[in-house]
Each structure stands twice: as structure tokens, then as C-alpha cells.
Amino acid sequence: MTASTVGGQLAEELRGIRERSGLSLAALAARTPYSKSSWERYLNGKKPAPRRAVEELCALTGTPAGRLLALWELADAEWSGRARPVPAPEEPDRPAPGPSATAARVRVRRWVVAAVVAGVVAAGLAVPALIGQRPDGQALAAAEPLVRNPGCSGDTCEGKSPVAMGCGGAGMITTLATHTASGGQRLELRHARLCRTVWVRTTGLLPGDRVVLSLPTGRTQQVTAEGSRDAGQYLATPMTAGTSGAGARICLKAPGRRSECFTD
């Protein structure tokens, strides 16, 4: 990666997370310590994003932070100038090295650069392990702070996005059940106690796959993978009011195949 691409790649990744989540810049400003104008600069690469801004966006959208924090470390090294080559100290005049010695030095330099980059990436990917993990694999709430000002609760959340409403932040969610369909699609029944809602988060859907959540109260919500853009991405049904997932029924309806349903 060159100095001109790492920071731009980070901004592009953060911008994509924001767009997929449906959160507006105003919503980000309301739920994080950063202003709307600051988020606009971070997401468009006009200004280096603070590490905490990356962590806040990941926590708010439920995005695993390890890879993005590793990318941030590389970008920060560029922004701070640490990635620039350090001039070698002047040495007394010596005979010019032969071709074999020059080639050996080039190989050593390349090895050192590769080792430094690998170390930064490894450190970034190890962040979740250093922070600590719960038995279910989710990061501890202390690492990704709880969002305490959701935009809705109970019936007022009906049909709304858990991410856009701030109900899907790290530390707010309990995964009540996880199911894997025959095609490998993963279906997670989720509950937010603070928002008093349930919904289904999916991954691995194929174009045209539809997931329907039905509660004993008669309320239903659904999400469909629209084309290749949604395929394989995290998708979530809108929320429905509920204090537990008891009796919830989740059905995967794939084109040309029989529906697969799971009852909790």
C-alpha cells in the first residue's frame, strides 16, 4: 500500500459501513462524541479519523473492529510520518559495494519493511483478543461502549432499523438463538433489552433469499437480499416490539426451494 492509498482505503471502508447501516451523519453525531461536520471529513478522507471514531462506528453498527483498526494503524503511521524512511547516518568514504552486496542490502530492507507492516497488521487483528472476548465470541462491552440514547423503545421501534435507531450497538444485544440453514445462511434472533425489541440478523444470504420473523403476537417483519450487493452481507429485519423471543418463528424462503423454518 502506498502512502496515498491507505488513508483513502480506510475512509472508503468507513464510508461503506455508514452507508450500509443507513445511519445519517446527523445520527452519527447524535450517538458519538463527533460532530456531523467531523464525520463528513473523516468519511471523505479530508481529515484523518481518530482511532476512537473508528471504534465508535464499529460499535454502533455491530461491525467487527479488528481489521479496520489494523488498517487505521497503517494509516496513522502515514499521517504521523512514522512510515517515512529514515535517512541513514553519514559514513566515511568507503569503496562502493559490489553487485552482490547491494542485492543483499535490498533484500534486507524489503524484509524489514514487510516485518514492520506484518507486525502492525497482527497487532490490529489481535485487538479483540487483547480486549477480551465473551464465551459467545462478542467483544466485552468495556471495549465497545454501550449506546444509551436509542431513538425508540417498544412499539415506537416497530418496523425500524435496529442500527439506525441505535438499538443494535455493542453491549446492547443478546443473541437469543442462532440457526444455520441447509444452504449455509446464518440466522440470529436478537433482542435489545433497552429498546424492548427483537429482530433477525442474517449473513450469507443469496440474491432473492427472504427471511421472515413472526411472533406469537401476530407481528411479522422481513428482509430480502436484493441482488449481488446484499449477497453475503449482514442484513437485518426491521425490529418488532418484544421483551423476549419466546415462540418466535424464523423462515428462510429461497427462490426455487422449500421454505426452512425454525421456532424458538
Q: Domain segments of the chain: what residues? A: 3-86+111-131, 154-263
The cell 435489545 sits on which residue? Answer: 192
| pTM of structure | 0.50
Per-residue pLDDT tens listing for the chain (264 residues): 333 478 888 899 899 998 888 888 988 888 888 899 999 999 998 888 898 899 889 888 888 888 888 888 888 877 766 555 444 444 444 444 455 444 444 444 444 444 444 444 444 444 333 334 433 334 333 334 444 567 889 999 999 988 888 887 667 788 999 999 988 889 999 999 889 999 999 988 888 899 999 999 899 999 998 877 766 678 899 999 988 888 999 999 988 888 999 998
Please state, in angstroms and as integers, the Cα–Cα distance from residue 177 to each residue in 69, 130, 170, following that order: 29, 27, 17
- Say which CATH class 154-263 falls into: mainly beta
Neighbours of 139 (CB within 10 A): 21
CATH (residue range 3-86+111-131): 1.10.260.40
Sign of CA pseudo-dihedral 23, 52, 37, 14: negative
The whole-angstrom separation of Cα 99 and Cα 36 is 56
